[in-house]
Structure 1
Amino acid sequence: MLKRKIGRIDYEGSAVMFGAASLGNVTQEEADKSITFALEHGVNHFDTAADYGDAEIRLGPIISKVRSDIFLATKTGERTKEKAKVEIYRSLERMQVDSVDLLQLHAVGTIEELNKCTSKGGALEAALEAKEEGIVKAIGITGHGHQAAVTHLEALKRFPFETVLLPLNYYMYSLPEYRESFDALMNEANNQNTAVRVIKAIAKAPWGEGQERRYATWYEPFDQQEIIDACVHFVLSFPGVAGFASAGDVHLFPKIVDAVERYGSMNNEQAERLLKSISGYTTIFGSPTSIA
């Protein structure tokens, strides 16, 4: 399994993160099978969130037994110090662990949400307090949508987050404004040695009206191995990307791991030729508004 250093955090994490959103609505048996598959294939970077349904509960039985062998990250979507602190402790209890390696302020994709988190009495204060207590080792920020890169660049000016997590795929990066803002974020993250971790690598498009939803993801994912290979190649071709999260369906995870294990068998030109030719490939976040 390809490993990459997680910014200034002293850890070599698997290039693919086990995106535990996939466990939100599965049985414990299904969850155990997927987690075991991950561990057997060298995946040591697990990323979950308090609001991923039952994901933290499903992780607990196995993760608690291999805690020292993995990098464990979770998220709080609360915006006040008081509520975020309660949620952090709840996450530890649900996962049956004493601490997490990374606590992320979740779904901070606009300046408005960033203001809520970083204001007096905001969630960032809870994260800092939890870090002082030793139950959180590092603090990060995540965001969805076309404003995420701009928002996270501003976040790094306000606080030295150890990680950022935001969307990246071939289509989104082809949008001039998103490319410009993502590159600016990458540059600042490199200056601060902040780990850039990405999501939505294999997202194809929003589900169509009346379309059969074959997967648990809230968007239509790519599921053909060759296309997944190209999507994975694209995000991992960024040397500054520390890792990417797998899609939110346990049935897609083996194909994603397979693509990572064969990373390098496809070159940049081959990946671009394939991704550029796909019909119906678009953003899953609606029409992009100005992000300048």
Structure 2
Amino acid sequence: MLKRKIGRLGYEGSVVMFGAASLGDVTQDEADQSISFALNHGVNHFDTAADYGDAEVRLGPIISEVRNEIFLATKTGQRTKEKAKAEIYRSLERMKVDSVDLLQLHAVGTIEELDKCTAKGGALEAALEAKEEGIVKAIGITGHGHQAPVTHLEALKRFSFDTVLLPLNYYMYSLPDYRAAFDELMAEANSQNVAVRVIKAIAKAPWGEQQERNYATWYEPFDQQEVIDACVHFVLSFPGIAGFASAGDIHLFPKIVDAVERYGSVNNEEAERILSSISGYTTIFGSPTSIA
């Protein structure tokens, strides 16, 4: 399993993160099988959130047993210090652990949400207090949507976050405004040695209204191995990316791991050929507005 340093934290994390977004939608036995598959294939980077239903509960039984062998990240979607602090303690209890390696302020994809988190009495204060207590080792920020790069760039000017987590895939990077904003964020993150981790690597499009939803993702994912290979190649060959989160559906996870294990078998030209020729490939975040 390919590993890369998680920014200034120095931890050698698997480049594919076990994304637990939909783990709460499966049984405990199914969750255990998927987590065990990840561990058996060298995945040591697990990313969940308090907002992911019972995902933290599903992680708990196995994760608590291998806590010292993995990098464990969770998120709080609360915006006030009081509520965020309570949620952090709740996450530890649900996962049966004493601490997490990374606590992220969740879904901060606009300046308005950033303002709430960084205001006096905001969630950032809870994260800092938790770090002082030793139950959180590092602090990050995450965001969805087309405004995420601009928002996270501003976030890095306000506070020295250890990590950022935001969307990146071939289609989104083809949008001129998103590309410019993402590149600017990458430059600043690199200058601060902030780990850039990405999501939605294999997202294809929003689900159609009449379309059968075969996967536990809120968007239509790619599921053909050749296309997944190209998507994984794109994000992993991107300079400065520490890793990417797998799509939440446990049935897609083995295909994603397979693509990572064969990283290098697809070259840039082949990935470009595959991804540029896909019909219906678009952004899952609605029509992009001006990002500047």
Question: Is the TM-score greater than 0.5?
Answer: yes
Output the amino acid matched with 2:248: G
Query: Using the alignment, how far apart are the partners of 2:85 and 2:162 within structure 1?
Result: 19
For residues 52-63 of structure 1, the aligned pairs below 5 Å read: 52-63=52-63
For residues 158-197 of structure 1, the aligned pairs below 5 Å read: 158-197=158-197
For residues 253-268 of structure 1, the aligned pairs below 5 Å read: 253-268=253-268
The equivalent of 2:237 in structure 1 is: 237
Correspondence 1:157 to 2:157: yes
Query: Using the alignment, how far apart are the partners of 1:121 and 1:82 within structure 2?
Result: 8
The equivalent of 1:46 in structure 2 is: 46
**Residue 209 (structure 1) shift:** 1.2
Q: 1:228-255 deviations in whole A, cap 9, x for unaligned?
A: 0000000001120000000010000000
Query: Using the alignment, how far apart are the partners of 2:87 and 2:236 within structure 1?
Result: 32
Query: Using the alignment, how far apart are the partners of 2:123 and 2:142 within structure 1?
Result: 13
**Residue 175 (structure 1) shift:** 0.1
The equivalent of 1:6 in structure 2 is: 6
The equivalent of 2:140 in structure 1 is: 140
Output the amino acid matched with 2:204: K
Q: Which runs of 5+ in 1 are unaligned?
A: none
Q: 1:130-150 deviations in whole A, cap 9, x for unaligned?
A: 000000000000000000000
Output the amino acid matched with 1:286: G
Q: Which runs of 5+ in 2 are unaligned?
A: none
SS in 2 for 1:73: strand
Output the amino acid matched with 1:26: V
Query: Using the alignment, how far apart are the partners of 2:263 and 2:185 within structure 1?
Result: 25
The equivalent of 1:93 in structure 2 is: 93
SS in 2 for 1:164: strand
Q: 1:162-208 deviations in whole A, cap 9, x for unaligned?
A: 00000000000000000000000000000000000000000000000
Query: Using the alignment, how far apart are the partners of 2:56 and 2:105 within structure 1?
Result: 16
Q: CA RMSD in A?
A: 0.4
Q: 1:66-96 deviations in whole A, cap 9, x for unaligned?
A: 0000000000000000000000000000000
Correspondence 1:16 to 2:16: yes
Correspondence 1:287 to 2:287: yes
Output the amino acid matched with 1:166: L
SS in 1 for 2:242: strand
Output the amino acid matched with 2:73: A
SS in 2 for 1:291: coil
The equivalent of 1:123 in structure 2 is: 123
Output the amino acid matched with 1:22: S
SS in 1 for 2:209: coil
> Where does structure 1 differ by over 3 angstroms across 4 or more consecutive aligned residues?
none
Percentage of pairs with the same residue: 88
The equivalent of 1:66 in structure 2 is: 66
The equivalent of 2:81 in structure 1 is: 81
**Residue 256 (structure 1) shift:** 0.1
**Residue 22 (structure 1) shift:** 2.7
Output the amino acid matched with 2:167: P
Query: Using the alignment, how far apart are the partners of 1:17 and 1:6 within structure 2?
Result: 11
TM-score w.r.t. structure 2 length? Answer: 1.00
Query: Using the alignment, how far apart are the partners of 1:8 and 1:272 within structure 2?
Result: 31
SS in 1 for 2:146: coil
Count of equivalent residues: 292
Output the amino acid matched with 2:40: E
Output the amino acid matched with 2:224: Q
Query: Using the alignment, how far apart are the partners of 1:204 and 1:197 within structure 2?
Result: 19
Query: Using the alignment, how far apart are the partners of 1:43 and 1:22 within structure 2?
Result: 18
**Residue 24 (structure 1) shift:** 1.9
